[in-house]
Amino acid sequence: MAEITASLVKSLREKTGAGMIDCKNALVESGGNEEQAVEILRKKGMATAGKKAGRVTAEGVVGSYIHMGGKVGVMVEINCESDFVARGEEFQQLVKDVAMHIAAVDPKYVKREEVPADVLDKEREILMEQLKNDPKNASKPDDVLNKIIEGRIGKYYEESVLLDQPFVKDPSKTVGELVTEKISSIKENISVRRFTRYKMGEGIEKKADDFASEVASMVG
């Protein structure tokens, strides 16, 4: 039987929206065969997220979260298929959880496709320079270095992209996996559309006080 690795469980979870334990059990039952595991989950009614992914999400909620006594605030729009689901407790809780996560972790984008190409190019350029300046990697060919870089780009996504980030309340899953689980549970397609994060004073240049000059002017 094939080894049931964490990455294999994660892959099945992303495809089906089923819980982690259910995915692991299905993989064990299928001997590590992912296609058979999907079939097992479908028969048990657990694999529902993939079938709903293309359905239109025109309803939803704009939720908010304020943190640190008003120092950080977030607004996030999460969409679903019906107003009935949008008003439901489970969906409302998802919106609150995602808004809280954004306040805590400060992602820059919702999904990978939103990261501008020039940002990724600059990141790859920086990573390549770092590798070439490292004596352990300097002699390696570019194709090997490029593979290392792509692995590190995955880390960049994890740090910057909301759906790739470990969920702050349960780091064993990403925010994307949390949404997939809710699709399976609520039985409607759900999508995070956009968000804005505010930090009090952000972008304002604070003038440093010159205490000595101030005292001198008062004495003079």
Identify whether residues 14 and 115 lie together within a single domain. no
Structural domain includes residue 152: yes
Q: How far apart are CA 80 and CA 94, in angstroms?
A: 11
Q: Which residue has the tokens 């729009």?
A: 77
110 and 155, same domain (yes or no): yes
- 129 and 152 in a single domain? The answer is yes
- In whole angstroms, what is the distance from residue 112 CA to residue 47 CA? 24
Q: Is residue 205 part of a domain?
A: no
Range of the domain at 88: 59-199
**Which CATH number does the domain housing residue 148 bear?**
3.30.479.20
Q: What is the mean pLDDT of residues 134-147?
A: 83
Kindly state whether residue 52 falls inside one of the protein's structural domains.
Answer: no
Does some domain include residue 189?
yes
In this predicted structure, which of 13-17, 25-29, 53-57, 145-149 has the lowest mean pLDDT? 53-57
Write a three-state SS string for the chain.
CCCCCHHHHHHHHHHHCCCHHHHHHHHHHCCCCHHHHHHHHHHCCCCCHHHHCCCCCCEEEEEEEEEHHHCEEEEEEEEECCHHHHCCHHHHHHHHHHHHHHHHHCCCECCHHHCCHHHHHHHHHHHHHHHHCCCCCCCCCHHHHHHHHHHHHHHHHHHHEHHHCEECCEEEEEHHHHHHHHHHHHCCCCEEEEEEEEECCCCCCCCCCCHHHHHHHHHC
Mean pLDDT is highest, among 41-45, 75-79, 140-144, 186-190, for 75-79
Domain total in the chain: 2
**Domain match, 91 and 13 both:** no
The CATH number that applies at residue 14 is 1.10.8.10
Q: Are residues 23 and 95 in the same domain?
A: no
Give yes or no for residue 75 having a pLDDT over 70.
Answer: yes
Asked if residue 217 has pLDDT above 80, the reply is no
Contacts of 165 (CB under 8 A, 6+ apart): 101, 105, 107, 158, 159, 174, 175
pTM for this one? 0.68
Q: Write down the pLDDT at residue 142.
A: 80
Residue 134 lies in a domain: yes
* pLDDT at res. 66: 94
In this structure, how many other beta carbons lie within 10 angstroms of the beta carbon of residue 36?
14
Q: Is the CB of residue 199 less than 8 Å from the CB of residue 66?
A: no
Q: Are residues 134 and 105 in the same domain?
A: yes
Kindly tell me if the per-residue pLDDT of 181 is higher than 60. Answer: yes
- The alpha carbon of residue 110 and the mean position of all alpha carbons in its chain are separated, in whole angstroms, by 7
Structure tokens at 176: 């994307």
Residues 81, 171, single domain; the answer is yes
User: Pick the residue with more confidence: 42 or 39?
Assistant: 39
163 and 91 within one domain = yes
Does 144 map to a domain? yes
